[in-house]
Amino acid sequence: MSPNEQNLNKDDILQKTSIKEYIDKNWSVSKKSGSGYKVLCPFHDDKSPSMHISEDKGLYHCFVCKAGGNLVQFIKEFKNLTYPETLEEISNFFNIKIPKSNYKPNEDLGLQKKMYDFNNKVSQFFSRCLLDEERNSKPMDYLKSRGFSREDIEGNSLGFAPDSWDSITSLLYKKKDASSVALSLGLITKKEGQKSFYDFFRNRIIFPIKNRQGNILAFAGRTIGKDKVKYINSKESEIFSKRRVLYGLNNFNKLNGKKPKYVFIVEGYTDVLMMNKYGLYNVVATMGTSLTLEHASEVKKISNKVILCYDSDTAGIDSSFKNIEPLYQFGIEIFSLRLDSGLDPCSYLERHGREKFIDLAKKSSSIIDEYMDYLKDKLIEKEISINEALDSFVSKIRYVQDYIQRDKFINKFAASFSISKVKIESIINKEFIRADSPKQSIPTNRILSPEDIILKVFVEFPDSRDSKSINKYISIISPGFYKEMSKILLENIEDEASLIIGKIQDSGMNAMFSDLIFIPFDVPVELSARVKLIKDCIRKIELNLIKDSKRLINLKLSKDVQISDEEEIELLNDLKNLIEEEKALT
Ligand SMILES: [Zn+2]
């Protein structure tokens, strides 16, 4: 039997093929660059080759649009094929046999469709309830008071969930199949140990949450009663994840394919709808969570600039600052637009109109300037020390990918806080590692955190992985990208990077992962040196954790919040322990 005729399993496919060869013959011939190859990126309007190919790793990555993956992912995206079609393409092009058992589709499309259909039906029911003003005019009155006409309400398929326990369950009457769908969508729920279901959304105005294609993924409900929780969302399901979905994306079709210069990110559903009403369709909101990496990757597909339009109160300012890291990680420029206090975009547009709003948007300032002012105020009020201000600043700007831009921010911070630039640079060099390798002409100046480095070592050298050290890593990092990736590594402990990337379901995580692999950083070849590097990075993460806890305790102790004597003793005791732990680590 010739090698070409043997039956391959899924993982072999990637090892018996060449991604460079496929790209060269089907797209454009790549040129040698550093240890890999470079080619024009087919996934964005590329003027000079931005896509890197690593033949050793069997991966591609574009540093501009963050497209990345293995051969299967390339063909799927490039030719817009389904998974089975992609396998067929590989089999034909490389003249290898792929057993039919590999052709199973990944997703349960049947269930997905059932869920969309069900949400659609329920949405129509909610709409009817809202429009039935004779029975209950309160929800309609509220929406009208916020400036929405009946046409706006119908056009956006807003709805109302009646103040009853069994509206949805009675829709399901005698349909067993439908109740299991309703249950998994979280539209109905039941108390533990009880048999009967009850409605999840009650006495709430309903905002359907749609994807770009217009399918309803979930609902958000705003109370019009006395419920303490103002907004609730459908629970997470096969089709809905808060970490990924942005509200308002379905209206991007109204831009008629024009790429907007920037995307507005606002706090509320009504803000999105009102901006749409005024002809501004480049606007999204998160579902009551901070912006995640997954959200940032969605935004990146639309534009390289965002304008955050959050409330001017403490909560609004705080949450807009939390968006800095994920957006910078995707190389997105961030501006901040603060409206007069008490006004959100919805009420501002109602009062002052579109032109004034756009004028303000054009004048919005860089978020990092605003962040520096914020730290300065905290410093003056003695809520933080100068070192803490510096730490916070560095943790935000380390993701700025444009080297000149980052330098500009550092200069500004140095001048404004009377700190020498050398000191700031030394903090960056001590806590993080700069990734730069001019010979490979990779357009990144990203600074690698200890979390990045550990993951990079684990991924690129399967022999550095053992469940004990991966579990140790998992135990000290916060939820999100690194934790999710570590779990995938644990389940595929011997797999190479090109196989690992195929197991990532999420496009944001995929982009982050691909970026990390292609960032040049010389991982030591010697196993013992790598083990030492990992240990060292773990120690740095632990020290940062201690620093954070100390900061929190000091804040509690210094604030004029009332705390009891017992609490104070406890806090001081915790602080003492932390200082000892810190000593042991340094
Ligand atoms: Zn690209």
Where residue 45 sits, what CATH number does that domain have? 3.90.580.10
Cα-to-centroid distance, 382 and ligand 1 (Å): 46
Burial of 24 (0-12, 13-18, 19+ CB in 10 A): middle
Last residue of a domain, one of 50, 68, 103: 103
Cα-to-centroid distance, 45 and ligand 1 (Å): 7
Q: How confident is the model at residue 438 (pLDDT cuts 50, 70, 90)?
A: very low
Cα-to-centroid distance, 60 and ligand 1 (Å): 10
Cα-to-centroid distance, 149 and ligand 1 (Å): 42
Q: Is residue 384 part of a domain?
A: yes
Cα-to-centroid distance, 287 and ligand 1 (Å): 29
For residue 507, pLDDT beyond 60: yes
Cα-to-centroid distance, 532 and ligand 1 (Å): 36
Q: Are residues 475 and 581 in the same domain?
A: yes
For residue 271, pLDDT beyond 90: yes
Cα-to-centroid distance, 75 and ligand 1 (Å): 15
Collapsing DSSP to helix, strand or coil, 471 comes out as helix
H or E stretch covering 75: helix 71-78
Q: pLDDT for 298-349, tens place per residue? A: 888 888 899 999 988 888 888 899 999 889 888 899 999 998 878 889 889 9
Q: Are residues 512 and 558 in the same domain?
A: yes
Residue 504, φ and ψ in degrees, nearest 5: -85, 125
Mean of pLDDT over the chain:
87
For residue 6, pLDDT beyond 60: no
* 471, 513, 540 from 474: Cα distances, Å: 5, 17, 14
Q: Is residue 461 part of a domain?
A: yes
Cα-to-centroid distance, 179 and ligand 1 (Å): 44
Q: What is the CATH number of the domain that holds 461?
A: 1.10.860.10
Cα-to-centroid distance, 307 and ligand 1 (Å): 23
Q: Are residues 195 and 136 in the same domain?
A: yes
- Provide the pLDDT for residue 151: 92
Cα-to-centroid distance, 68 and ligand 1 (Å): 9
Q: How confident is the model at residue 4 (pLDDT cuts 50, 70, 90)?
A: very low
Q: What is the CATH number of the domain that holds 143?
A: 3.90.980.10
Inter-residue contact 349 to 274 (CB < 8 Å): yes
Q: Is residue 226 part of a domain?
A: yes
For residue 89, pLDDT beyond 60: yes
Q: Are residues 511 and 484 in the same domain?
A: yes
Q: Are residues 92 and 190 in the same domain?
A: no
18-27, 36-45, 105-114, 227-236 — which is least confidently predicted?
105-114
Tokens of 401: 């990918």
Cα-to-centroid distance, 106 and ligand 1 (Å): 26
Q: Is residue 345 part of a domain?
A: no
- Provide the pLDDT for residue 437: 47
261-283 core/surface letters (b: 16 or more CB in 10 A; e: else): ebbbbbbbbbbbbbbbbeebbbb
Q: Are residues 80 and 118 in the same domain?
A: no
- Provide the pLDDT for residue 64: 80
Q: How many domains does the chain have?
A: 4
Tokens of 472: 């140790």
Tokens of 230: 């103002």
Q: Is residue 142 part of a domain?
A: yes
Q: Are residues 93 and 116 in the same domain?
A: no
For residue 479, pLDDT beyond 50: yes
Cα-to-centroid distance, 507 and ligand 1 (Å): 14
Last residue of a domain, one of 237, 271, 296: 237
223-236 average pLDDT score: 91
Residue 335, φ and ψ in degrees, nearest 5: -120, 160
Edge-to-edge strand ranges of the sheet holding 51-54: 31-33, 36-39, 51-54, 59-62, 68-69
197-213 average pLDDT score: 92
Last residue of a domain, one of 188, 213, 237: 237
Q: pLDDT for 521-550, tens place per residue? A: 888 889 999 999 999 999 999 998 898 888
8-22, 149-163, 289-303, 364-378 — which is least confidently predicted?
8-22
Q: Are residues 502 and 374 in the same domain?
A: no
* 250, 376, 577 from 558: Cα distances, Å: 47, 17, 19
33-37, 430-434, 569-573 — which is least confidently predicted?
430-434
Q: pLDDT for 107-139, tens place per residue? A: 556 788 889 999 999 999 999 999 988 888 999
Cα-to-centroid distance, 511 and ligand 1 (Å): 11
Cα-to-centroid distance, 66 and ligand 1 (Å): 6
Cα-to-centroid distance, 74 and ligand 1 (Å): 12
Q: Are residues 82 and 35 in the same domain?
A: yes
Q: Is residue 38 part of a domain?
A: yes
Give the separation between CA 115 and CA 557, rounded to whole angstroms: 50
Q: Are residues 116 and 39 in the same domain?
A: no
- Provide the pLDDT for residue 327: 92
Give the separation between CA 69 and CA 502, rounded to whole angstroms: 7
391-420 average pLDDT score: 88
Q: Are residues 480 and 556 in the same domain?
A: yes
Q: Is residue 31 part of a domain?
A: yes
Q: Is residue 266 part of a domain?
A: no
Taking the whole predicted model, whether its pTM rises above 0.85 is answered as no
Cα-to-centroid distance, 400 and ligand 1 (Å): 19
Cα-to-centroid distance, 348 and ligand 1 (Å): 37
Q: Which domain holds residue 72?
A: 3-103
- Provide the pLDDT for residue 359: 93
In the block, residue with structure tokens 């089975």: 84
Q: Are residues 386 and 454 in the same domain?
A: no
Q: Which residues contact 479 (CB under 8 A, 6 or more apart)?
A: none
Collapsing DSSP to helix, strand or coil, 187 comes out as coil
For residue 410, pLDDT beyond 90: yes
